[in-house]
Structure 1
Amino acid sequence: MGRFDAIADKIKKKTYKNQYELDIDINSIIIDTHEGHFQFAAGVIQIFQWILPDSLVTISSDGKAIPQVYTYSDVYNKVPNASPVVEIEGETVFNYLRNYTSRTNALGLVDPHADYNAMNLNPAYQFGISGASTGLSYYFNSFQSTYVYNGKSLKGRFANGTNFEWEYVAGSSANLTASGWLSGDSIYSRKIVNRQALSGRTDIDDEDVVPVPEEELPSLQNLVRGRGVTINTRATTSLTKVPFDSYPSSPDTKQDSFGFGGTVSGYILKDASIGVLSLPSFANGKDAPGPTFSDAVADFISKAKSANVKKIVIDLSGNGGGSVFQGYDTFRQFFPTVAPTLAFRTRSSDLTNTYGSFLTSVSTDSGRVFSQNYILAIAKTFGNVASLNSAFTTKTDGSRWSSWKDFYGPNDVYGDKYTNLGYYNLSSTLIASDLGQYVTGYGSSSTPKQPFDAKDIILLHDGHCASTCTIFSELMKVDGGVKSVAVGGIPQNGPMQGVSGTRGSNLQKLDLYSAITENIVEAAASFSNRDTFLKTTGLSTSAIQSLPKTLAEAPWTMTGGVNALDEIRLSSPNDPRQFVYEASNCRIFYTGDMVRDVTQLWIAAGKYANGDTSVCVPGSQDAPGSGRNKTVTDYPGFSHDEVWDKANSTAVPSVSGGGDQEDSSSSAGSAVRVGLAGVLGLAVAATVLL
């Protein structure tokens, strides 16, 4: 808490010159947790993005040589004798990217290799976000676009001595005009402060500002022209393919509303006898509900079986999660008779006990005290909040909890208190309602035959795999016996954790906790006999009085979330998966061909599935934590410093044919390579229509 105390001290001393400086300090704490479910957004930091006209990729010349950093445009356009990037803003490229991730990368990744991959252009990650959305036309990677201001331009140097400069262009995914965010004062009054909570303030002024006409703003299409990208103009309701040239033009399987909520696609690579299921997201929603996701997976499995492919590659590149139960259903489609054994638990606290006692007692009341309509409303809204409602979860032996206290514990683990371990009740009608269908093999759904042997399936990760993706990967590994391949990472030999996003199994937003508080307060006030309410819910007057304020009462507008459930492997019941080292079975380097044609990446993963270990980076095979049921809690890979330090030994050719990336100053001229933004004459103050 010392860093929060330091922020409070700076506020008292009026050290901050503006809101942005305060937001940066708060954001740095969020980044340093490396926990993707730990989220907080307030102030101005996420209103604007600063966008570069190009990005970086890190590729090996032959899949064996230590990779070098190149501009994406050089690799995509196959520029002859393209020179690696060796320096950015006066620092070695690796030192710059290392510092950059610590300042800007809020993805919550646990492995430095994953942090590094996030700095490189990644079509799967970008489509996993934009394709799952019904509003985003495009999504930039974490280096090409940032919420943290880094100056008007980015300057760097190539190994051949030439320089480049890319101008940043400001943009916003928000409709600034419709939001009324047209000046510092209007942003403060409409975005930062909670107008409802501060309705009596007289110093909140809405200033009238004339917006810039849209026709004068640079377009998103101009920013990505010549980069192998097709912008989703939202003129249709489904795309024909993933909108990057590196993806095949004709998927054999495609989810409904593809690119408009749907992201599942499948490919049969006949010459290689490989079937590829691309899952860049587990998200579902109104425009692409759960059944369309499940149907696409089933369609792919059917077509792969009909084609008699030898191996299946499940590409989870860029997958940041989505619906928890979509992950369970996808696992069951590949292993329909295998019962999932991944457990969960939550931290025990007075507030957890208050919330859980209330929700569970209402959900199990059967109309004795609460009305049936209220019970149904609570069940529909909070029934699947497994951390706070034991009415719809089970013990690890499948039996039901007798009460909230039966689940709550608490148990002492490493000096903290936690609940007992639990499972989701996958036969629950609430889960079926949430997913839009029963999980395969549960309830009224049928149980198909297992389509492929575990040895014929390989998982492909790039480090982004988070939340539901980690649940699916854990089930496939431990319960299914499937191996995995990781791709990319910091240029060095050795292992990599492919599953490096948050391994917490449930994100809960602050507004959910706020809503529970409101329900408790309102329900308590509605009872004429308060003792009846307290006895039924197991609450006390002091517990109700100790509830936190709701978001509506906060002086600032804010959103956020926390990880509500640990992922727990039964063989290691005290160790959350978030805090163990879990290398993939094999690691491969990206090549230029893979960047231009993703099928080359899939073929490489398929080779490993076929037993060809020559594709693996030296020192990466069967590394610590890669075993089916191994738990490693002490490994050097945990150290970001130790892993990053090795990147600086990467050798690159100089003009004279020797030297390394720290000593490649032989100059071939002082030409300044200005990016597309410079050609278009875009000023940093411009706003891009995203």
Structure 2
Amino acid sequence: MYKSILICSLASLSAQAAPATTTATAKASTTFVSSTLKAVTTTSRVSSSVKPSSTPAPVSNSTNPCARLSSSYSKQAAAAKGELTQTTYKVTDVLACLRDVPINSTAAAAQVDYIKQYMQFQSTLAYLKNPPKSYPYPPTDILGGLDKIASKTKSGGYKNQFDFEIDIVKYAIATYDGHTAVNQFLVSNFNFLTNVLLVSISGDGNSLPGVYFLQDILLANATYAPSDIISIDGVDVTERLLSRASSNQDLDALYNSALYNPSNNQVGSSYAGSSFIFSEDSHTYKFRNGTSATLSNIASTKLSLEGIKSGKDIYENFLVPSTDDEEEEQTPSSSSSSSTAPSKPSDPVASNIEAYVKLGFPTPVAVAFDNSVGGYFLQSDPSVAVLNVRAFTGSVANPPGAPKDYDTAVDFQQTVTSFLNKSKAAGKTKLIVDVRGNGGGAVFTGYDLFRQLFPSLKLEASTRFRSHQTADYLGTLFSQFPGLTQQDIDLDSKDNDTKAITLAKADAFNFHSYIKPSGGNFSSWKDLYGPVMAGGDNFTQTLAFDFNNVAQAEAGGLQISGTGDLPNFKDQIFKTENILLITDAACASTCGLFSNLMIKNAQVKTLVMGGRPSKNQMVAIGGTQGAQVLHWDVIQSKAANGLELLAKHGAAVFKDSALLKSVTNVFQKMVADPPINFDVSASAINFRDSFFGGNGTDTPLQFQNVKKADCRVFYTAGDIKRVATTWERIVAGNYDCVDGGKKW
């Protein structure tokens, strides 16, 4: 059986975990600032009136900074008595150790070449290098920048491995694209955290909001009025928050991503490996009332530093690729994965419902097992239903406690169906769809949700990907095999060649996987591949998914409602004018795709929340609008499958022996281990550009001007303390469109 999932997200699936039981224990996030390595974010659980809950363990007086960390690690491991999951240290101690890790210039230069073979799949290279005038960030030449890093490496310009990694990661961050990440070992295995969660609050819902510690807002009462923060380390708080790295190309979305998001019980964060770096052991927060607070930051890692005496030991223990069956030690040695994994609750759904209710959610009438989507009825107005879409699910790994045959995408689909049926039966006439904090997920769940809400409307699905030599090699080979059938999906063959052919039939580089946006078929790989010149680069023809091809849809993760024998609603449950889409501009990826369908195809009204302290209009979609993320390990698997096919079919496909040798060499390089160890699966590129409605432009949505929301609303303290308050006051009309927009 073959099944894959088209994911249009990088970080969104982390939002599916069960929430903490109180708002104050929301998820942590970290920040990286590429220019100065100085940033602030909202990360831990401490207000200005409470001491930090996590203090780094003391280090020894050893002269080597890494040896000092090792000493601290041993003390923390001993105190943990086998329960160790991560260790914490002073920020400056960790940075001193990381800059003690030596660089192997030869391996580093080879590492750049290794990275470039994946970055050639990035669809936005030309537009990043020469963006339109409306783009808010400076041009970035990704491949040229990597070449400069390679030259600097060869000339001895780097004194340590860490600074080399930082420069590489900067280029991924500069894409402002949640689908793009270049994971490197040191940067990704040490997290840098502050000790506060921040929120943006307007006192009356109309006055400009201030930035507060979340804990202060939760503690506010008749005798205690918290003061807002005006600066961090002497820098205006708005400027400081905007200086953080982000996967959002819109500044208001960037601002919101630095703040606690009540509807998703998490703090948004951009992606750069898995960590973001600042250099201070503390940040000083100055308040409008003239007081200030200096709070400690921490650095943490899950690595075992037992026995480490120097940065050289770190390089040799972690960065030199393992050979043969050697195990890579990348987790604390004092704790096995089985002992540190969270215990599975006896009833995960019930436990999660209880946790969300404590956060101010109503009791759901329908909820997915992984919490990606939940439906609610408002007690304050019996006509209103709310669909809170926290993530467009599609995780390959099932959540804890899931049944053996559990499918996240099917669960998402069935939860929506159940919610709509219950809404119809209960006589609900108005619908709020809340996608705040939604970073994306499986592409077809976004299409399916729209199809269930609007059964008669067209699904837009126009995309393209970059044309280059490796893509041509993959497409030429895989397209020799006809399109996927249901028989292929049901087949459970143990023959390697049959398995390889089945994978090729369903692959993104097989022209049989697509149709033309007009509805016709491509005649060959060459017909699809082009290349077509646009924006100074080469691309495929614009292409679309054939949703009526059930086998292809299932291979993509989900059969869409109303296709094949899968039923859908005959009539639209909620009238269009009675549907409101709520976003925080950080909506990205599949969320952006779904929201574009809602806004452009269905003409649904939009309300956006938060943003910078101004009353200007905000966009509804400010996150990445790429059509699909492709992780590097997935690209590796394509190359590996290509090698499997070449062994038996290569000579027939590539009749020229020199060409066959070239193709083989390209695939072999892609499946090889990196010269310097890192988690390839945590790196990714934006594979497809997204287009909408044949608007007559070659510029992808990621670089187009985005439609402003119909109404902008500031958060109040009530919204932060209780999620349902937001929905209730919008339904009751107890809000102002601060941008002069029109209420729902």
Please give the range of the TM-score, normalised by the shorter of the 2 chains: 0.7 to 0.9
* Structure 1 counterpart of 2:380, from 263, 271, 274: 271
Aligned partner of 1:507 in structure 2 is 629
Stretches of structure 2 that go unaligned for 5 or more consecutive residues are 1-142, 488-492
Measure the CA separation in 2 of the matches of 1:506 and 1:282. 13
What letter is aligned with 1:90?
A: G
Question: Is residue 2:744 matched to residue 1:615?
Answer: no
Stretches of structure 1 that go unaligned for 5 or more consecutive residues are 128-138, 220-230, 623-690
Aligned length: 570
Aligned partner of 2:320 in structure 1 is 193
Question: Is residue 2:408 matched to residue 1:289?
Answer: yes
Aligned partner of 1:688 in structure 2 is none
Measure the CA separation in 2 of the matches of 1:119 and 1:342. 31
Measure the CA separation in 2 of the matches of 1:551 and 1:180. 32
Aligned partner of 1:21 in structure 2 is 163
What letter is aligned with 2:672?
A: A
Show CA shifts across 1:12-58 (max 9, x none).
45444433322222222211111111111012112122333321111
Question: Is residue 2:352 matched to residue 1:352?
Answer: no
Change (3 A) 1:243 1:156: same
Question: Is residue 2:594 matched to residue 1:594?
Answer: no
Change (3 A) 1:551 1:152: farther
Taking the TM superposition and a 5 Å limit, the aligned residue runs for 1:649-668 are none
Question: Is residue 2:639 matched to residue 1:517?
Answer: yes
Residue 198 of structure 1 deviates from its aligned partner by 13
Taking the TM superposition and a 5 Å limit, the aligned residue runs for 1:162-561 are 162-172=291-301, 174=302, 176-177=303-304, 184=311, 187-196=314-323, 234-236=344-346, 237-238=348-349, 239-243=352-356, 245-248=358-361, 250-256=363-369, 261-272=370-381, 273-285=383-395, 286=398, 287=402, 288-363=407-482, 377-378=499-500, 380-381=502-503, 383-386=505-508, 388-434=509-555, 438-448=559-569, 449-526=571-648, 531-534=651-654, 541-547=661-667, 549-558=669-678, 559=680, 560-561=683-684
Measure the CA separation in 1 of the matches of 2:657 and 2:548. 26
Residue 190 of structure 1 deviates from its aligned partner by 4.7
Aligned partner of 1:627 in structure 2 is none
Measure the CA separation in 2 of the matches of 1:472 and 1:180. 51
Would the aligned equivalents of 2:461 and 2:545 in 1 still touch at CA under 8 Å? no
Show CA shifts across 1:559-584 (max 9, x none).
22111111111332422111112122
Would the aligned equivalents of 2:194 and 2:298 in 1 still touch at CA under 8 Å? yes
Change (3 A) 1:522 1:113: same
Measure the CA separation in 1 of the matches of 2:622 and 2:685. 17
Measure the CA separation in 2 of the matches of 1:416 and 1:35. 19
Residue 232 of structure 1 deviates from its aligned partner by 8.2
Change (3 A) 1:621 1:351: farther
Change (3 A) 1:119 1:150: farther
RMSD of the TM alignment (CA)?
Answer: 3.7
Residue 66 of structure 1 deviates from its aligned partner by 0.8
Show CA shifts across 1:408-443 (max 9, x none).
122222332222221112123334534665210001
Question: Is residue 2:173 matched to residue 1:53?
Answer: no
Question: Is residue 2:228 matched to residue 1:118?
Answer: no
Aligned partner of 2:39 in structure 1 is none
Would the aligned equivalents of 1:362 and 1:537 in 2 still touch at CA under 8 Å? no
What letter is aligned with 1:240?
A: I
Secondary structure, counterpart of 2:295 in structure 1 = strand
Measure the CA separation in 1 of the matches of 2:418 and 2:727. 19
Residue 507 of structure 1 deviates from its aligned partner by 0.9
Residue 208 of structure 1 deviates from its aligned partner by 13
Change (3 A) 1:379 1:575: farther
Residue 549 of structure 1 deviates from its aligned partner by 1.3
Measure the CA separation in 1 of the matches of 2:151 and 2:324. 24
Per mean C-alpha deviation after superposition, the further-off stretch among 265-274 and 82-91 is: 265-274
Measure the CA separation in 1 of the matches of 2:674 and 2:331. 26
Would the aligned equivalents of 1:494 and 1:620 in 2 still touch at CA under 8 Å? no
Change (3 A) 1:84 1:207: closer
Aligned partner of 1:85 in structure 2 is 229
Question: Is residue 2:728 matched to residue 1:603?
Answer: yes
Measure the CA separation in 2 of the matches of 1:376 and 1:83. 66
What letter is aligned with 2:699?
A: D
Percent of aligned positions that are identical = 28
Per mean C-alpha deviation after superposition, the further-off stretch among 530-539 and 233-242 is: 530-539
Question: Is residue 2:709 matched to residue 1:584?
Answer: yes
Would the aligned equivalents of 2:484 and 2:502 in 1 still touch at CA under 8 Å? no
Measure the CA separation in 1 of the matches of 2:330 and 2:688. 44
Change (3 A) 1:74 1:325: same
Secondary structure, counterpart of 1:575 in structure 2 = coil
Taking the TM superposition and a 5 Å limit, the aligned residue runs for 1:633-672 are none
Aligned partner of 2:239 in structure 1 is 95
Would the aligned equivalents of 1:493 and 1:618 in 2 still touch at CA under 8 Å? yes
TM-score by length of 2: 0.69
Would the aligned equivalents of 1:50 and 1:147 in 2 still touch at CA under 8 Å? yes
Show CA shifts across 1:505-529 (max 9, x none).
11111122222223333433345xx
Would the aligned equivalents of 1:466 and 1:500 in 2 still touch at CA under 8 Å? yes
